[in-house]
Amino acid sequence: MTVQLSDIETQLESLSQESKSAIATANTLEQLEQLRVGYLGKKGKLSQILGMMGKLPPDQRPKVGAIANTVKEALQADLEDKRAGLQAAQIQAKLASETLDVTMPGIFRPQGRIHPLNAVIDRALDIFVGLGYTVANGPEMETDYYNFEALNTPPDHPARDMQDTFYLPGGDLLRTQTSSVQIRYMEQHKPPIRIVSPGRVYRRDTVDATHAAVFHQIELLAIDEGLTFTDLKGTIKEFLRQMFGQDLPIRFRTSYFPFTEPSAEVDLQWNGKWLEVLGCGTVDPNVLQGVGLDPEKYTGFAAGFGVERFAMVLYEIDDIRRVYSSDLRFLRQF
């Protein structure tokens, strides 16, 4: 088959025009790479046209080679220009999608609130720590010894009837008071001792507006040489002054607790009414002897109060059950 020079020139001209149009319409780098292979690859259209040069007379081949080089260089230039344009567009699109407008308002997420019980606990602990006390914690599942016996309450003691207890299989129980923490602490530390122990306690109370089967207590204990009931009164007065933010009338009424002697209830005059807010007393000598301390050398005092009671007074809560309801309408008030 005879090949004419004019035929090859026509095909090269047609390839040049076709490639320009195809490259101009390419939208992605992947499409552009396919065009490059299709035109300039080993089996591409340009190679197929140049394969016909062997059928031309030797004197015509240099002219075809020169035209082919011009077409190839133009095609490569078009490919590079298009590649640069597509890459720049790709970068701009990515920048546009990742641009952050720092002047836009942030996404609103409501902040959490401190629960009234946690607020009272934090406030009370801050006061006692400021007075030199150390926070001490203990287990909520206790033995009868730490919850009762070590606190001067033997098995036949009538004071056990004051606290209806949740007993567990095996003889353990859910602590009815955080006083058990005091015993554990005194067993492991020597005087002087000044601790405050917050925590959850359990009693088989009938749930109503002022009672709950699960509630929170904070108790304090001080053991040292020469401590008296006067030291206890001064500590309680200062605590109540800081807790309520003002000097309010208080009174001490004689009471009874198995692990303190003498014992007292403390009332606070709030909004014209006397409110019972905590119990206290000097540590009974039997309790000190039980932990290996000499009651002739050491004396001490203890006091405790219910967190829920303080929260109801400070935040004017009418029903203790509200603090456990998880009702957002209630919690958002604090």
Residue 312 located in a structural domain = yes
User: Do residues 85 and 164 both lie within one domain?
Assistant: no
User: Do residues 213 and 298 both lie within one domain?
Assistant: yes
Separation in Å, CA 32 to CA 24, 70, 89, 265: 9, 20, 14, 90
User: Do residues 306 and 216 both lie within one domain?
Assistant: yes
pLDDT digits (tens, 9 = 90+) for 219-246: 999 999 999 999 999 999 999 999 998 8
Confidence of residue 163 (pLDDT cuts 50, 70, 90): low
User: Do residues 131 and 222 both lie within one domain?
Assistant: yes
Q: Which of the two residues, 50 and 185, has the higher pLDDT score? A: 185
β-strand partners of 268 = 250, 275
Q: Which of the two residues, 38 and 292, has the higher pLDDT score? A: 292
Percent of all residues in the chain with a pLDDT value above 70, rounded to a whole number: 96
Tally of domains in the chain: 2
Q: How far apart are CA 79 and CA 192, in angstroms?
A: 88
The answer, yes or no, to whether residue 165 has pLDDT greater than 60, is yes
Q: Which of 41, 72, 98 is the last residue of a domain?
A: 98
User: Do residues 176 and 75 both lie within one domain?
Assistant: no
> What CATH number should be reported for the domain holding residue 192?
3.30.930.10
User: Do residues 78 and 154 both lie within one domain?
Assistant: no
pLDDT digits (tens, 9 = 90+) for 90-138: 888 888 888 777 888 888 887 778 889 999 999 999 999 999 999 999 9
Residue 54 located in a structural domain = yes
Confidence of residue 139 (pLDDT cuts 50, 70, 90): very high
User: Do residues 86 and 125 both lie within one domain?
Assistant: no
Residue 231 located in a structural domain = yes
Residue 289 located in a structural domain = yes
Residue 42 located in a structural domain = yes
User: Do residues 258 and 126 both lie within one domain?
Assistant: yes
User: Do residues 149 and 72 both lie within one domain?
Assistant: no
User: Do residues 72 and 121 both lie within one domain?
Assistant: no
The answer, yes or no, to whether residue 142 has pLDDT greater than 90, is yes
Residue 107 located in a structural domain = no
Residue 45 located in a structural domain = yes
Count of alpha carbons within 13 angstroms of residue 23, beta-carbon side: 24
Q: What is the mean pLDDT of residues 202-216?
A: 85
Q: Which residue type occupies 17?
A: Q
User: What is the 3-class SS of the chain, one letter each residue?
Assistant: CCCCHHHHHHHHHHHHHHHHHHHHHCCCHHHHHHHHHHHHCCCCHHHHHHHHHHHCCHHHHHHHHHHHHHHHHHHHHHHHHHHHHHHHHHHHHHHHHHCCCCCCCCCCCCCCCCCHHHHHHHHHHHHHHHCCCEECCCCCEECHHHHCHHHCCCCCCHHHHHCCCCECCCCCEECCCCHHHHHHHHHHCCCCEEEEEEEEEECCCCCCCCCCCEEEEEEEEEEECCCCHHHHHHHHHHHHHHHHCCCCCEEEEEEEECCEEEEEEEEEEECCEEEEEEEEEEECHHHHHHCCCCCCCCEEEEEEEEHHHHHHHHCCCCCHHHHHCCCHHHHCCC
| Nearest residue to 121 via CA among 321, 305, 320 | 305
Q: Which of the two residues, 188 and 211, has the higher pLDDT score? A: 188
User: Do residues 266 and 162 both lie within one domain?
Assistant: yes
299-306 vs 214-224, strand pairing mode: antiparallel
Q: What pTM, to 2 d.p., does this model score?
A: 0.66
Note whether 231 and 237 are within 8 A (CB).
no
User: Do residues 285 and 241 both lie within one domain?
Assistant: yes
Task: Determine the structural domain holding residue 312 and report its residue range.
Answer: 116-331
Count of alpha carbons within 13 angstroms of residue 57, beta-carbon side: 5
pLDDT at 120: 94
Residue 109 located in a structural domain = no
